[in-house]
């Protein structure tokens, strides 16, 4: 039982480390040449591949997330959604508090009795495959803890926090899903393939 929890925790930490490393690597490689030219709107359009078949899909960058969802003064940005070889999807991003008071995220808790003790976390998050008519709930370990960020304390006014959440992977070929947590409007995202 402990081996399973340890393996799951190691996978979650490895996914978080990989996501963080990729994000830091992409920031370090950026420069003035990455910004679209205001006088040339075509410079911000997706570029075609070498084969000339299809344009590459736009990737999320620190300036432009995959999706954003806003409920009052709270904004959730989704920076990545990656299908991992272990049969799960890791979604990560940031939550920002633009309100005048601190925010804890208690309305994001799960309705499932097993996950209620996760408190201010992404335990209530879901992925929905509308084409396949399936809803994917957050993964959890054998102790009933979600494989997601648990906010330790409040997010103060004007501050933001990074988060991640893991879900069972939809079938191969299903890449368009919606992410939802709490009262936030659903955010349509594209799942990319992990390495």
pLDDT tens, 142-175?
A: 888 889 988 877 899 999 999 999 999 999 889 9
Dist CA 74 CA 85 (whole Å): 32
Say what the pLDDT of residue 42 is.
40
Say what the pLDDT of residue 16 is.
47
Helix residue ranges, H only, the chain: 2-28
Say what the pLDDT of residue 23 is.
43
Dist CA 83 CA 68 (whole Å): 20
Dist CA 129 CA 44 (whole Å): 29
| Domain covering 2-26+65-193 assigned CATH 2.60.40 in the classification | yes
Segments making up each domain of the chain, as ranges: 2-26+65-193
Residue 113 neighbours by CB under 8 Å, 6+ apart? none
Helix H or strand E encompassing 111:
none
Say what the pLDDT of residue 9 is.
53
Listed as ranges, residues in the chain with pLDDT below 70 are: 1-63, 116, 119, 195
């Amino acid at each position: 039982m402990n081996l399973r929890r340890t393996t799951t925790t190691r996978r979650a930490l490895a996914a978080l480390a990989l996501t963080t490393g990729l994000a830091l690597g992409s920031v370090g490689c950026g420069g003035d040449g990455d910004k679209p030219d205001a006088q040339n709107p075509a410079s911000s359009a997706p570029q075609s591949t070498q084969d000339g078949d299809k344009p590459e899909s736009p990737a999320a960058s620190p300036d432009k997330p995959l999706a954003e969802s806003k409920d009052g003064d709270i904004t959730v940005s989704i920076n990545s959604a990656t299908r991992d070889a272990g049969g799960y999807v890791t979604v990560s991003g940031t939550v920002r508090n633009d309100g005048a008071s601190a925010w804890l995220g208690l309305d994001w808790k799960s309705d499932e009795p097993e996950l209620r003790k996760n408190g201010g976390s992404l335990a209530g998050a879901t992925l929905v495959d509308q084409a396949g008519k399936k809803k994917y709930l957050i993964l959890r370990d054998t102790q009933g803890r979600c494989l997601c960020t648990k906010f330790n304390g409040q997010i103060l006014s004007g501050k933001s926090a990074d988060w991640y959440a893991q879900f069972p992977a939809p079938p191969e070929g299903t890449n368009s899903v919606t992410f939802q947590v709490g009262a936030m409007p659903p955010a349509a995202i594209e799942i990319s393939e992990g390495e």
